[in-house]
Every structure is written in structure tokens, then in C-alpha cells.
Amino acid sequence: MPTINGHMPTLPPEGPRPSTHEPHRHRRMAESFGADAERYDRARPRYPDALVERVTDAAPGPDVVDVGCGTGIASRQFQAAGCRVLGVDPDERMAELARRLGVGVEVAAWEDWDPDGREFDAVVAAQAWHWTDPVAGAAKAARVLRPGGVLAAFWNVFELPPEVAQAFADVYQRVVPDSPFDPRGMTARGRSDYTGLLSGVADGIREAGGFGEPEWWRWDWEWSYTRDAWLDQMPTFGILTWVPPDLQERVLEGVGAAVDGMGGAFTMRYTTVAVAASRTVTTP
């Protein structure tokens, strides 16, 4: 894991309201990642060790439920830190691979999942909380967390080099002109675009009740990609998982040409961002 510097500013009490574009309503995209679960697990970046340590230090115990666990990338990181982890994911294809890799998973959307009286010390969501209703999801977390337990939703946000970003936006708009999804969120603007998402997550936690004031955590780091490594990861993005294979290939060709023009490799700037809040003693 690369060197990471982190800090934990508290979100302002009245941040921007959530966008009218609500990812959790796009169920087709939300449940499309299992189409190539092995690629997803192989290509997606991991999360900073410092984040895992921050969550485990804040939690009163080792019991963790991983919301939208996918193939168990974050689950396995928490297991390596000594936690007992249960995954919850709506996609049986992702869950099956996670089980093969050592993570117990129950298949359900988080809002519909039945905890059957179980309680946890942490609820985490890695690259997944935006697929969850922000209020109903936080209310479910409050019900399953022990007093003092922590809810932590986090994302790896990347900033593509300008040449790769422009190539992706141009070819995507040309090949998939009728797409309802804006490719600019996958380009350099994506880092700043997450401010609205994080504020919406914090607002959902406040509205659900049962938590202290949400905090915003952040770690900055870098990762080097070869052309092939980057093109291996791209089909795992929600903006591409629903696109037919022939159109996917055309998008990848355009981006690959841009990376070739940069010498066949590039350095990606990442920011891992999180919203976290501790469960109060009184349930909502």
C-alpha cells in the first residue's frame, strides 16, 4: 500500500443538498458488477491501511458488517486486521466469489436485509453506499450497531491524467451517445464531484438519527498503471458494466490509444474519502 497522509475534518452542519441524480435508484447499474466478478476483484484498487485502522480503532469490538461487499475486497482487509466480517450484497455472483475467498455473505439489498437480532461494532461500505438509500440505509445501520459502534462509508476517487480523461469522455460520448450517465464523473472532475455525494451521505445520517455528528475523513495517495492494467479495470466501472461488449471494446480502444501516447503507463492520483459517524446510546 502506498504512503498515505490522512486528516479528519468534520463536515459542515449544513452542506450542499444531495443531487437530484440519485445513484441508489439505478438498480440496473447497481447490480451489474457481478457480470465479471473475477475481473472486479483482480483489478479494483484496495483501500488505505490507515482507513481500516481508523475504523477498527473507533469501533468498540471486532464485529463488522460490510454493506455491498461485492467480492469482499474491503472485507478481507478488515479480516486481516482481526475483525469478524459478514458481507451483505444483492448480487449472488459477487457473493459466490467472496465466499470462495473466505468471506461469509448474505444476499440481499441492505435496506431489505434481515439481521435476525444480530448486532455489530461497525457497519462499513466500500465504494457502495451510493447504491443505498441514504436515510433508510443509515437507519438500518443504527438498528444493527451496538452503542458506540461506527458507520463508515468510503470511496476511492481517482483523478485521471488530462489526456486519458479527455479520451475517455470523448470516446464514451461518441460510442454511447444515449447513455443516461455522465462520463465527466469518471474524469478529473470526479474528485470535486464527490463533495455533494459526501454531504448527502452526512445529511442522510443526520435525518435517520441515532448517530453523533458525521465526520469526513480523507487520504491522498498515488498508484502507477500500465496500459493493460488500466484497461483491465475500466470494464468494472458502473458506467461501463451495462454497455454491450462491442461498444465497451470501442471505448477501451480509444482510452488505450491515449495511454499508448503517454508511453504506455501513467500515475493515478487517488483520494480515499469517507463519511463516518458513531452510534449514540439512544436508538432513533
Distance separating alpha carbons of residues 168 and 176, to the nearest angstrom: 11
Domains of the chain with CATH codes: 24-160+187-223+268-279 (3.40.50.150)
203: its cell numbers:
445529511
pTM assigned to the model: 0.84
Give the pLDDT of residue 23.
47
Confidence category of residue 2, pLDDT binned at 50, 70, 90: very low
Q: Which residue has the higher pLDDT, 185 or 180?
A: 180
Give the pLDDT of residue 227.
96
Per-chain mean pLDDT for the chain = 86
Give the pLDDT of residue 5.
36
Confidence category of residue 193, pLDDT binned at 50, 70, 90: low
Each residue's pLDDT tens digit, 102-134: 999 999 999 999 999 999 999 999 999 999 999
Residue 247 near residue 110 (C-beta atoms within 8 A): no
Distance separating alpha carbons of residues 95 and 38, to the nearest angstrom: 11
Give the pLDDT of residue 178.
81
238: its cell numbers:
458502473
Distance separating alpha carbons of residues 105 and 89, to the nearest angstrom: 7
Give the pLDDT of residue 184.
63
Confidence category of residue 65, pLDDT binned at 50, 70, 90: very high
Asked whether the predicted pLDDT for residue 46 surpasses 70, the reply is: yes
Confidence category of residue 24, pLDDT binned at 50, 70, 90: very low
Each residue's pLDDT tens digit, 213-254: 999 999 999 999 999 999 999 998 878 887 889 999 999 999
Give percent above pLDDT 90 in the chain.
68
261: its cell numbers:
501516447
Buried b (16+ CB within 10 A) or exposed e, 34-43: bbebebbbeb
